[in-house]
């Protein structure tokens, strides 16, 4: 039988469909409080892919004890610092091996619930007693964990411990101190076919479909054996992929920046796939209350007593860095012949009485470059204009004082002319040099204006002129102080605007937390929204400082800001008046200088002519 048209026949082949996967995923190896999860045996030496910190916390448990539970460092960093995901976690802590006995502990029962503050309690094998009766899990009680890792025992209504006022517990707790570098490096067990530690990295792509891009082991990578194993693993993953091993330098060996190169080489961190860092800037402990619970500050953050391990945060080091940076820039300016120099010191330390501008940020600068005028940009333009006026005034005052001192010294000499005489000589000279009637009229008009100005302000001598400049100097200082106060308050109001906006935007997040009454979902919500809640608490605190009664009145602040702007315009006008008057005084100074130079030349010519005249008289007498 014949066939017409197109026919397709499918046959099985040996080809497999391609698998796609995400790449550059961070893989972190370490320890986690797996006693807090339901089936800890499922997360031991197994790659766990978490698309968020909340997923990682749910899969592996979470406490803020970063020293003992190093995977929690990564969870905290991805959630609160960098906001990155996903990440792969490999836990090497095994509750069946890395444990120690729990001393029998008594806990008070309140509302059918008892809290045992000991961290790391393993629920499996836990012995709970009420009086002499041993309670059965699932029948007489259930367990859960608080956000700080404390065990909560919930007594079941109708169970043997329902009426108990206290219970005792005994069993085992995790012992992270039993973990060694060998556990982190890991191995392949030929008899069981299982891998552990860094060897589990090989399973990431086949099991999870993601490609490792970064390998880290917080708290362990500074050990040479661990760092070298990480580098070797990063150089060849599944015979196909390559990654980067991010290792720490031992801060006990690299105590200063210049030690880093030698410490890196001594540790064997020389592979092209090994990126050594010196990140351990400070360590410390959380401040605890009498019950062993961490204390929060006004911003909602846990109080942490930090101890620096380097001098990076010291004012002396910062000063040295800033000074070195300024010297480097200035050397390059000098090399290129650019007449600009950088002073690393603040205006205050330089003795420069100018207003600092506010930080604009990349977003504001980008908008300004496009011609979009912003509030911060306008505010900084106002600051720069005010600073320009202040600089001009102070420069004129300083120069006038110097000139007055020199002029007084000259006038103190015998037969030296006074201020009025010098000005009269100046305008007499100008009238004599004028070629047109228009020029003579202009000179006469200017002379009348100058003498009227001096008469109106009572300036008849250099002492009077010096007194006038001193008045302007005092007025400038007073106006500068007023502007300081106005500027500081305007900046504070702008910050309150930002705080109010943040409060309004984040209030729904805070309200969402208040609606959750149960501890576990509440803790999860807080972990997912920690950054927003911290911003909310900070904004609320600033608004409370401004409005202690809790009644936030932004209209009042807006009106105050408008009044400050008007006051600034008035103060700025006074500054300009001082500057204009100083320009008049500077004109007087220029006239006096010109007249003085003319008088000097006249005297020199007289001295030169005297011998010649005497010689002519002698010749005539002959």
Which pLDDT tens digit goes with each residue over 333-358?
A: 999 999 888 888 876 677 666 656 66
- Max mean pLDDT among 174-188, 443-457, 582-596 falls in 174-188
Q: Mean pLDDT, the chain, as a whole number?
A: 80
- Taking the domains of the chain in order of start, what are their residue ranges? 19-94+179-277, 99-174
Question: Quick one: pLDDT at residue 399?
Answer: 73
> Token pair 């067990």 is at which residue?
189
Sign of the CA dihedral with 98 first, then 103, 109, and 115 last: negative
Helix (H) or strand (E) holding 491: helix 462-515
* Class at the top of the CATH hierarchy for domain 19-94+179-277: alpha beta
Helix (H, G, I), strand (E, B) or coil at 468: helix
Q: Which of 71, 68, 72 is closest to 90 using CA atoms? A: 71
Which pLDDT tens digit goes with each residue over 93-116?
A: 999 999 999 988 899 988 888 888
Which pLDDT tens digit goes with each residue over 125-137?
A: 899 998 888 999 8
Between CA 132 and CA 142 the distance in angstroms is: 19
For 142, phi then psi, to 5°, come to: -130, 165
- The pLDDT of 517-523, averaged and rounded, is 79
Residue length, the chain? 622
Sign of the CA dihedral with 317 first, then 319, 322, and 327 last: negative
Q: Does residue 265 register a pLDDT over 70?
A: yes
Which pLDDT tens digit goes with each residue over 569-605?
A: 888 788 777 777 777 777 777 776 776 666 666 555 6
16 vs 203, residue with greater confidence: 203
Q: Does residue 613 register a pLDDT over 90?
A: no
Confidence of residue 221 (pLDDT cuts 50, 70, 90): very high
Question: Quick one: pLDDT at residue 1?
Answer: 43
Confidence of residue 620 (pLDDT cuts 50, 70, 90): very low
Confidence of residue 22 (pLDDT cuts 50, 70, 90): low
Between CA 472 and CA 475 the distance in angstroms is: 5
Question: Quick one: pLDDT at residue 352?
Answer: 63
Question: Quick one: pLDDT at residue 494?
Answer: 87
Question: Quick one: pLDDT at residue 100?
Answer: 93
Helix (H, G, I), strand (E, B) or coil at 155: strand
Q: Does residue 413 register a pLDDT over 50?
A: yes
Q: Which class for 610: exposed (0-12), middle (13-18), buried (19 or more C-beta within 10 A)?
A: exposed
Between CA 293 and CA 176 the distance in angstroms is: 21
Q: Does residue 185 register a pLDDT over 60?
A: yes
462 vs 260, residue with greater confidence: 260
Report yes or no: 267 and 249 within 8 Å, Cβ to Cβ. yes
- Max mean pLDDT among 77-86, 273-282, 416-425, 542-551 falls in 542-551
Between CA 293 and CA 552 the distance in angstroms is: 33
Percent above pLDDT 90 for the chain: 22
DSSP state at residue 548 = T
Strands (E), 136-281: 141-145, 151-155, 166-174, 188-189, 194-195, 210-216, 244-248, 274-277
Which pLDDT tens digit goes with each residue over 303-324?
A: 777 666 666 777 888 888 888 8
Q: Does residue 615 register a pLDDT over 60?
A: no
Between CA 316 and CA 99 the distance in angstroms is: 46
- The pLDDT of 155-177, averaged and rounded, is 90
Encode burial over 94-115: b for 16+ CB neighbours within 10 A, e otherwise. bbeebbeebeeeebebeebebe
Which pLDDT tens digit goes with each residue over 58-81?
A: 899 998 888 899 999 888 887 766
- The pLDDT of 399-403, averaged and rounded, is 72
Q: Does residue 563 register a pLDDT over 60?
A: yes
Which pLDDT tens digit goes with each residue over 457-471?
A: 777 666 777 777 777
Q: pTM for the whole thing?
A: 0.51
Question: Quick one: pLDDT at residue 596?
Answer: 66
Report yes or no: 354 and 391 within 8 Å, Cβ to Cβ. yes
Question: Quick one: pLDDT at residue 408?
Answer: 67
> Of 279-288, 366-375, 530-539, which range is least confident?
279-288
């Amino acid at each position: 039988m014949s066939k017409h048209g197109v026919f397709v026949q499918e046959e099985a082949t040996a080809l497999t469909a391609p698998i796609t996967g995400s790449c550059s995923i961070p893989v972190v190896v370490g320890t986690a409080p797996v006693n807090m999860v339901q089936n800890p045996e499922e997360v031991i030496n197994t790659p766990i892919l978490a698309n968020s910190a909340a997923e990682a916390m749910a899969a592996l448990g979470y406490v803020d004890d970063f020293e003992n539970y190093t995977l929690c460092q990564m969870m905290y960093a991805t959630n609160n610092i960098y906001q990155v995901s996903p990440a792969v976690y490999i836990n090497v802590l095994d509750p069946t091996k890395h444990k120690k006995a729990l001393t029998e502990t008594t806990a008070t029962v309140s509302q059918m619930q008892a809290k045992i503050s000991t961290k790391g309690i393993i629920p499996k094998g836990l012995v709970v007693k009420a009086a002499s009766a041993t309670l059965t899990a699932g029948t007489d009680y259930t367990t859960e964990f608080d956000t700080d890792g404390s065990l909560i025992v919930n007594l079941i209504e109708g169970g043997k411990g329902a009426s108990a006022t206290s219970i005792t517990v005994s069993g085992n707790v995790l012992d992270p101190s039993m973990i060694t570098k060998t556990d982190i490096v890991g191995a392949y067990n030929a008899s069981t076919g299982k891998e552990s530690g860094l060897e589990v990295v090989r399973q990431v792509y086949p099991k999870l479909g993601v490609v490792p891009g970064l390998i880290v082991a917080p708290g362990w990578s500074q050990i040479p054996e661990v760092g070298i194993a990480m580098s070797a693993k990063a150089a060849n993953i599944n015979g196909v992929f390559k990654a980067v091993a991010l290792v720490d330098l031992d801060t006990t060996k690299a105590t200063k920046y210049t030690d880093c190169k030698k410490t890196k080489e001594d540790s064997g961190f020389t592979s092209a796939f090994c990126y050594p860092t010196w990140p351990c800037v400070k360590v410390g402990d959380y401040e605890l209350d009498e019950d062993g619970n961490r204390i929060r500050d006004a911003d909602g953050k846990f109080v942490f007593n930090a101890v620096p391990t380097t001098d990076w945060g010291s004012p002396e080091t910062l000063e040295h860095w800033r000074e070195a940076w300024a010297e480097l820039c200035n050397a390059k300016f000098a090399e290129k012949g650019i007449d600009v120099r950088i002073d690393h010191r603040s205006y205050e330390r330089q003795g420069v009485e100018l207003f600092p501008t506010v930080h604009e940020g990349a977003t504001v600068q980008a908008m300004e470059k496009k011609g979009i005028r912003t509030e911060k940009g306008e505010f900084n333009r106002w600051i720069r204009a005010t600073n320009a006026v202040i600089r001009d005034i102070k420069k004129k005052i300083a120069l006038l004082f110097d000139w007055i001192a020199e002029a007084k010294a000259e006038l103190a000499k015998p037969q030296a002319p006074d201020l009025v005489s010098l000005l009269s000589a100046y305008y007499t000279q100008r009238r004599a040099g004028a070629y047109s009637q228009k020029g003579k009229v202009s000179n006469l008009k200017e002379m009348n204006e100058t003498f009227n100005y001096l008469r109106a302000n009572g300036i008849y001598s250099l002492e009077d002129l010096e007194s006038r400049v001193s008045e302007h100097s005092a007025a400038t200082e007073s106006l500068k102080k007023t502007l300081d106060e106005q500027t500081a308050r305007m900046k504070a109001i702008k910050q309150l605007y930002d705080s109010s906006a943040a409060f309004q935007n984040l209030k729904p997040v805070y309200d969402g937390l208040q609606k959750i009454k149960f501890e576990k979902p509440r803790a999860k919500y807080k972990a997912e929204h920690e950054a927003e809640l911290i911003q909310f608490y900070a904004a609320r605190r600033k608004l409370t400082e401004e409005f202690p009664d809790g009644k936030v009145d932004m209209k009042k602040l807006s009106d105050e800001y408008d009044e400050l702007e008007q006051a600034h315009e008035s103060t700025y006008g006074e500054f300009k008046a001082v500057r204009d008057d100083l320009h008049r005084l500077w004109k007087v100074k220029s006239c006096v200088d010109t007249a003085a130079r003319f008088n000097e030349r006249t005297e020199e010519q007289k001295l030169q002519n005297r011998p010649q005249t005497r010689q002519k008289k002698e010749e005539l007498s002959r």
